[in-house]
Structure 1
Amino acid sequence: MRLRTLLVAVTATLAAATPPAAATGATPATPPGTPAHACSPSVALTGFSDALDKTTYADTFVGNLSALSVDSGGRIAALSDRSSLFTLDRKTLRPTGVTALADEHGAALDSEGLAVDRDGTRLVTSETEPSVRRYSRDGRILDRLPVPDSLRVAPAGRATSNLTFEGLTLLPGGRTLLAAMEGSLSGDTPGVVRFQTWKRHGEHFALAAQYGYRTDTGLGVSETAATPDGRLLVLERGFRAGYGNTIRLYLADLSHAGDTSRVDILTGQADVRLARKTLLADLADCPSLGARARQPQPNPLLDNVEGMAVTGARHGRLSLLLVSDDNQNAAQVTRLYALRVRLPHHPAG
Structure 2
Amino acid sequence: MRRRSALKLTLALAAAAGLTAAAFAVSRPAAAVAPKAQYLGSYTWKLKQPWFGGFSALKLSEGGTVMTVLSDRATLVTTRIQRSHGAISGVTAQRAHGLRASTGKVLRGFAGDSEGLAVSPDGSRYISFEGPARVVRYRRPEGRAKVLPRPKAFRKLPPNKSLETLAIDSRGHLYTLPEQAYDQNGQIPVWRWNGRRWSRPFSLPPSGSFLPVDADFGPDGRFYLLERDLTFLGFRSRLRRWDMTAAGPVNETVLLQTGPGTHDNLEGLSVWTDDTGRLRATMVSDDNFLPLQRTELVEYALPR
What TM-score bracket applies, with the shorter chain setting the length?
0.7 to 0.9
User: In structure 2, which of residues 143, 148, 151 is the aligned counterpart of residue 145 of structure 1?
Assistant: 148
For the pair 1:165 / 2:159, whether they are aligned, the reply is no
Query: Are the structure 2 counterparts of residues 128 and 72 from structure 1 closer, same or farther at C-alpha, using a change threshold of 3 Å?
Result: farther
Residues 113, 199 of structure 1: CA spacing in aligned structure 2 closer, same or farther, 3 A cutoff? same
Evaluate the alpha carbon distance shift between residue 257 and residue 247 of structure 1 in structure 2; reply closer, same or farther with a 3 A threshold: farther
Q: How far 1:143 sits from its partner (Å)?
A: 2.1
Q: Quick check: 1:229 aligned with 2:229?
A: no
Structure 1, gaps ≥5 residues long:
1-38, 259-273, 285-297, 344-349
Question: What is the TM-score normalised by the length of structure 1?
Answer: 0.68
Question: Equivalent residue for 2:207?
Answer: 216
Q: Aligned to 2:48, what secondary structure does the other structure show?
A: strand
Per-residue CA deviations over 1:203-237 (Å, capped at 9, x if unaligned) read: xx532443211122222101101022322111111
**TM-aligned CA deviation for residue 101 of structure 1:** 0.5
Q: Is contact 1:178-1:197 (8 Å) kept?
A: yes
Q: Could you tell me which of 90, 102, 115 is aligned with 1:104?
A: 102
* Distance in 2 between residues matched to 1:48 and 1:70, nearest whole Å: 15
Specify the SS of the correspondent of 2:207.
coil
* % same residue: 27
- In 1, distance between residues paired with 2:270 and 2:81? 13
How far residue 136 of structure 1 moved from its aligned partner, in angstroms, is: 2.7
The yes-or-no answer on 1:56 pairing with 2:45 is no
Deviation string, structure 1 residues 52-84 (Cα, Å, up to 9, x no partner): 2xx224xx3311000001357951100000011
CA deviation map 1:98-145 (0-9, x unaligned): 011032342321000001111211111110121111113342125221
Residues 133 and 162, structure 2, Cα contact 8 Å, conserved in 1 = yes
Mark the CA change 1:169 to 1:62 in structure 2 (over 3 Å): closer, same or farther: same
- C-alpha change, 1:40 and 1:230, in structure 2 (3 Å) is closer
- Tell me the SS of whatever aligns to 1:165: coil
Looking at structure 1, the residues matched to 93 and 148 of structure 2 have their Cα atoms a distance apart, in angstroms, of 29
Structure having the larger proportion of residues in helix: 2
- Taking the aligned partners of 1:315 and 1:252, their CA distance within structure 2 comes to 24
CA contact (8 A) 2:51 2:75 kept: no
Matching residue of 1:262: none
Question: 1:130–1:72: structure 2 CA closer, same or farther, 3 Å change rule?
Answer: farther
Greater gyration radius: 1
Output one character per residue of 1:167-217: Cα deviation in whole Å (capped at 9) or x when no partner.
Answer: 1111124x21111221124x6344x211111113xxxx5324432111222
2:190 aligned partner: 195
Structure 1 residue corresponding to 2:58, chosen from 68, 80, 89: 68
Tell me if 1:177 matches 2:166: no
The 2-side partners of 1:95 and 1:314 are apart by: 23
Structure 1 CA distance for aligned equivalents of residues 34 and 245 of structure 2? 25
CA contact (8 A) 1:131 1:147 kept: yes
Q: Report if aligned partners of 1:68, 1:308 keep a CA contact under 8 Å in 2.
A: yes
CA offset digits 1:258-294 (Å, max 9, x no partner): 6xxxxxxxxxxxxxxx76521111123xxxxxxxxxx
Q: 1:276 & 1:102 partners in 2: Cα distance?
A: 40
Matched, 1:278 2:253: yes
1:309 to 254, 265, 270: 270
Aligned length: 259
The corresponding residue for 2:128 is 125
Query: TM-score of the superposition, structure 2-length normalised?
Result: 0.77
Could you tell me which residue of structure 1 aligns to residue 77 of structure 2? 86
Residue 317 of structure 1, CA deviation: 4.0
SS of match in other structure, 1:337: strand
* CA 181–257 in structure 1, closer or farther in 2 if over 3 Å, else same: farther
Distance 2:214 2:34 in 1: 20
CA contact (8 A) 2:240 2:253 kept: yes
RMSD across aligned C-alpha pairs, in angstroms? 2.5
With 86-95 and 109-118 compared, the bigger mean Cα shift is at: 86-95
Change (3 A) 1:315 1:50: closer
Shift of 1:315: 9.7
Distance 1:198 1:243, change over 3 A: same
* Residues 335, 128 of structure 1: alpha-carbon distance in 2 compared, 3 angstrom cutoff: same
